[in-house]
Structure formats: C-alpha cells, structure tokens
C-alpha cells in the first residue's frame, strides 16, 4: 500500500499548451509539419509544372498564377518548408550517426536549423518578390 501512495498519479489529460516543449522537440514537430505541407502541395506544384510545359498559353497562365501576391506567399511558405525540412533532415542524419546527440549540441543544432532555414527563406522571398 505504501508503494501506491508513493507513486504519482499520471495525468489523464495532457494540456499541450501548458507543456513547455524544448527547442529540439519544437524543431522535430516543425520537421514533420514541413514534410506534410510539402507532400500536400507537391500535387499543385506538379500541376503548375505540367501546365507550363504543355503549351505557350499554359506557360503564360502559370506565370499569371505565380505573379499573384497570394501565390507568391504560398511559394515562399513552401520554400520555408523545403529549406527547414532539408536542414532538419541533415541534422537528423548526423544524429542517426551518433554525432551531436548531447544536450548542448542538440540545442545548438536546433537553433542553427531555425536560423539557416529562416535566413535562406528571407533570401528566397526577396528573390521571388
């Protein structure tokens, strides 16, 4: 009976808003989200590529579609998703080889992934706009 009193009750409901997720966990979730976004928008990008290669009129239509400010924002978002997924993927490849798995290096590489993908997204956005 003493063991039951010592054991803490496990929560039935986890409030994800109150849990402070560490930065490597946040980068991991963003890696999964960016992969899902890339998968979902791959069909749209392939349709644009198909239309642009179909005929000169299709190419002009794709140019008009991509020239819209909302489409540019979507393309910049997709650029961030690709760049973040790429940078985080390299980080995970190194971690799979047992390189940089200690806490300090993991935090530093998480910051590096966010900084590099953010900077490259700014460069891409300036180029696209």
What is the DSSP annotation of 31-100?
Answer: HHHHHHHHHHHHHHHHHHHHHHHH-HHHHHHHHHHHHSHHHHHHHHHHHHHHHHHHHHHHHHHHHHTTSS
Could you report the per-residue pLDDT of 64-114, keeping only the tens digit for each? 999 999 999 999 999 999 999 999 999 999 999 999 889 999 999 999 999
Question: What residue ranges do the domains of the chain occupy?
Answer: 30-39+69-128
Specify the pLDDT at position 9: 75
This prediction has a pTM of: 0.80
Most distant CA pair in the chain, distance: 80
Task: Using the predicted structure, report yes or no on whether residue 126 has a pLDDT greater than 60.
Answer: yes
Specify the pLDDT at position 17: 73
Cα–Cα distances (Å) from 113 to 74, 76, 116, in that order, read 21, 17, 5
Task: Using the predicted structure, report yes or no on whether residue 5 has a pLDDT greater than 60.
Answer: no
CATH number of 30-39+69-128: 1.20.1300.10
Let me know if 5 is exposed, middle or buried by CB neighbors in 10 A (0-12, 13-18, 19+).
exposed
């Amino acid at each position: 009976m003493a063991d039951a009193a010592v054991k803490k009750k496990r929560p039935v409901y986890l409030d994800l808003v109150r849990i402070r997720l560490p930065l490597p966990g946040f980068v991991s979730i963003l890696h999964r989200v960016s992969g899902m976004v890339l998968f979902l928008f791959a069909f749209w990008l392939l349709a644009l590529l198909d239309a642009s290669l179909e005929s000169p009129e299709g190419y002009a239509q794709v140019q008009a579609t991509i020239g819209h400010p909302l489409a540019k924002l979507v393309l910049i978002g997709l650029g961030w998703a690709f760049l973040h997924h790429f940078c985080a993927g390299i980080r995970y490849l190194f971690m799979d080889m047992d390189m940089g798995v200690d806490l300090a290096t993991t935090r530093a590489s998480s910051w590096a992934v966010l900084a590099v993908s953010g900077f490259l997204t700014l460069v891409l956005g300036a180029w696209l706009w």
